Amino acid sequence: TCDVESLLRNADVAMYLSKSRGKGRFEFFEPAMHQEAVDRLDLKADLQRAIDEGEFFLHYQPIFDLATGRVTLVEALIRWRHPTRGLVMPDRFITLAEENGLIARIGEWVMREACLQTAQWQRIPGCEDISITVNLSMRQLQDIGLVNALTRALKDSGLQAHHLVLEITESMLAQDPDRSAEILGQLKTIGVKLALDDFGTGYSSLSYLRTFAVDSIKIDRSFISELHRSATSTALIDAVVNLARALGAYTVAEGIEYSDQAALLRKLGCDRG
Ligand code: MG
Ligand code: MG
């Protein structure tokens, strides 16, 4: 069917997609684009209910000390148990939550839940020093309310600030370095730790390392999976490990899947994985 109304609507959908992909370009409409747009709107509308109905939950990914094999840190990863779609991953809904302003509430929930769980683990003998690491989104990092939300989560859970790590990516810092510096400065004052996530895939800017005193650098999984096939990857990891060490930060290798990868990383002096 091609009535005027659908023609305009379809042109609009193609235009938005084109805009989102950059300036001075065009895009032909495909029926799948409309479905995708409808999908996004549906999901976006469902987010409010997801918060109210408690449909979010956290997966915890262990981070091992490569020298001792002990779990010293755990990364909290948000998941959405959608009543009809099943499991929805954050890459599908975080941007939507940033667009409709629900990200602050979702972020606050994650922080709170993660802190409470960690405080509970710390009461288990042998787990007293376990720490938690939480991912921040771009919008959270520009919202001064984050500092208050975080302070509350720490206070209510009884977790000490130095047991909480916040993960930021280089592309987040690139958006608004001044504002980010201000908020990160305040977070540092509270005593939480900072990690640079997915290092090596963004700008890998030395000036960021100078401006934002991070406590750890997470080497992106793409370098780890290449370890055995690529001498360049090995050399780069070696360089990042030494760079981090010189800055007083520790390194975390992401996405280790084989024991020989762990062995090589250990040899390169990587601290955790
Ligand atoms: Mg992360
Ligand atoms: Mg990561």
The Å distance, Cα 41 to ligand 2 centre, comes to 27
> Of the candidates 45, 53, 49, which has an alpha carbon nearest to the alpha carbon of residue 100?
45
Contact assessment for residue 221 and residue 202, using Cβ atoms and an 8 Å cutoff: no
> Of the candidates 84, 65, 81, which has an alpha carbon nearest to the alpha carbon of residue 73?
65
* pTM (predicted TM-score): 0.87
pLDDT of residue 136: 94
Residues paired with 218 in a beta bridge: 252
Smallest-distance ligand from the CA of 218: 2
DSSP H or E stretch at residue 75:
strand 71-82
pLDDT of residue 132: 98
Q: CA angle, corner 242, sides to 238 and 244, nearest 5?
A: 115
Smallest-distance ligand from the CA of 201: 2
pLDDT of residue 71: 94
Give the burial class of 106: count Cβ atoms within 10 A of its Cβ; 0-12 exposed, 13-18 middle, 19 or more buried: buried
The Å distance, Cα 260 to ligand 1 centre, comes to 23
What are the residues whose beta carbons fall under 8 Å from the beta carbon of 261, sequence distance 6 or more?
224, 227, 228, 253
Smallest-distance ligand from the CA of 195: 1
State the DSSP code for 272: B
State the DSSP code for 58: E
Q: CA angle, corner 236, sides to 232 and 241, nearest 5?
A: 150
Helices H / strands E in the chain, number of each: 11, 8
- Euclidean distance between the first and the last CA atom of the chain, given in angstroms as a whole number: 55
The Å distance, Cα 136 to ligand 1 centre, comes to 8
The Å distance, Cα 93 to ligand 2 centre, comes to 17
The Å distance, Cα 140 to ligand 1 centre, comes to 15
SS (H, E, C) 143-190: CCHHHHHHHHHHHHHCCCHHHEEEEEEHHHHHHCHHHHHHHHHHHHHH
Contact assessment for residue 220 and residue 191, using Cβ atoms and an 8 Å cutoff: no
Question: What is the Cα–Cα distance from 234 to 228, expressed in whole angstroms?
Answer: 8
> Of the candidates 107, 92, 79, which has an alpha carbon nearest to the alpha carbon of residue 183?
107
pLDDT of residue 64: 96
Q: Helix (H, G, I), strand (E, B), or coil: what is residue 20?
A: helix
Smallest-distance ligand from the CA of 198: 2
What are the residues whose beta carbons fall under 8 Å from the beta carbon of 125, sequence distance 6 or more?
none
Residue ranges with strand state E in 164-256: 164-169, 193-199, 216-219, 250-253
Question: Tokens standing for 79?
Answer: 């998941």
pLDDT of residue 1: 60
What is the tens place of the pLDDT at every residue in 91-120?
999 989 998 889 999 999 999 999 999 999
The Å distance, Cα 135 to ligand 2 centre, comes to 8
The Å distance, Cα 171 to ligand 2 centre, comes to 13
pLDDT of residue 177: 83
From first to last of the 273 residues of the chain, give the pLDDT tens digit.
678 988 998 898 899 888 888 888 999 998 888 888 888 888 999 999 999 999 999 999 999 999 999 999 999 999 999 999 999 999 999 989 998 889 999 999 999 999 999 999 999 999 999 999 999 998 888 888 899 999 999 999 999 999 999 999 888 888 888 888 888 899 999 999 999 998 888 777 788 888 888 999 999 999 999 888 888 989 999 999 999 999 999 999 999 999 999 999 999 999 999
Smallest-distance ligand from the CA of 199: 2
Amino acid at 74: V
